[in-house]
Amino acid sequence: MLFFQISGQEERNLFFIGMIYESFVFFIALILLTLVILKYFEKRHELTRILMGVFFFYSLAILFSLISKIFVVLRLDLIIDPYSPLGWIFFRILSFRVSEFLVCIAIFLSYIFKVKIFQDDYKQIQKYVVIIFGSFTAFYNLVIYEPKHGFTSVLLDATAFLLTLIFMSMIYLAFMYRSIEAYRGVKEPVYRKAFLSLSLMAICYMLIFLNFLIDRIFILIFEIPGFTIFYYLAWAFAIIGIVCAYLGYIKPEASRKE
């Protein structure tokens, strides 16, 4: 998200470094996603399909974040009218809003996965809370936006980030707790490894937005263009989360007999 005005070459150089970094991150995510897809078609397991969807939308979020860096490097933000039809979607990509929207979809799929693996059925109240809050967060991320830089735009962006973090914590804290609980309750090494990997995945996904939030706090406090160490850690945790789930759950699940 743009908590500052891109006013000089120094800021654009930081976006160029971010573009290179996210290119590597996306390349790794694409390889892992391809491996997950291949494993799914090998076994066609329902839970693997849901996790494949989770990884797909996280990978797509990384892609749109990368595209936003490319926009800045190419200086497209200087020539596109923010209030034109093209500008409507352009500046939402530029400010990370589209990526946040895609993350919301990944979070909701993670909720479905949690229910499928840990519960017999959906709890009605919980389901409605997740649907209502998740829908509101996704709507806010994509629609409630001010492209003109200023206090209002900063406040709206910060709120979008906070809502996504809350939605993510709602799902992944419970996911992590149930995974650890299951890990402690089983004896078979393959299942212990699977549940441990899922708990690590949940922790890593929460750390994505926690690190992004810390990065944004630094931007607000010190009035810097961003790209602190926390920004780089955020996407690194995304990759670690996918690797943990793939090696600990998906790969063993794909090779396990019915």
Res 50: pLDDT: 93
CATH code of the domain in which 249 resides: 1.20.1070
63 domain-assigned: yes
Asked if residue 223 belongs to a domain, the reply is yes
- Distance CA(161)–CA(166), nearest Å, equals 9
87: part of which helix (H) or strand (E)? helix 85-94
The answer as to whether 2 is a domain residue is: no
Instruction: Report how far residue 35's alpha carbon sits from residue 45's, in angstroms, rounded to the nearest whole number.
Output: 14
Higher pLDDT, 44 or 90: 90
- 93-97 mean pLDDT: 92
Residue type, 15: F
pLDDT tens digits, one per residue of 44-85: 888 889 999 999 999 999 999 999 999 999 999 889 988 899
Model confidence at 42, pLDDT cuts 50, 70, 90, reads confident
In a domain, 3, yes or no: no
- Domain presence at residue 208: yes
pTM (whole model) above 0.75 = yes
Picking from 142, 143, 134, the residue whose alpha carbon sits closest to that of residue 163 is 134
Is residue 1 a part of any domain in this protein?
no
**Within-domain flag for 78:** yes
Helix (DSSP H) and strand (DSSP E) numbers for the chain: 9, 0
pLDDT for 3:
44
Domain count within the chain: 1
Q: Is residue 74 part of a domain?
A: yes
pLDDT surpassing 70 at residue 1? no
User: What is the rounded CA–CA span in Å between residue 224 and residue 227?
Assistant: 9
Alpha-carbon gap, residue 85 to 8, rounded angstroms: 27
Q: How many residues does the chain have?
A: 258
pLDDT of residue 256: 53
Domain that holds residue 120: 9-255
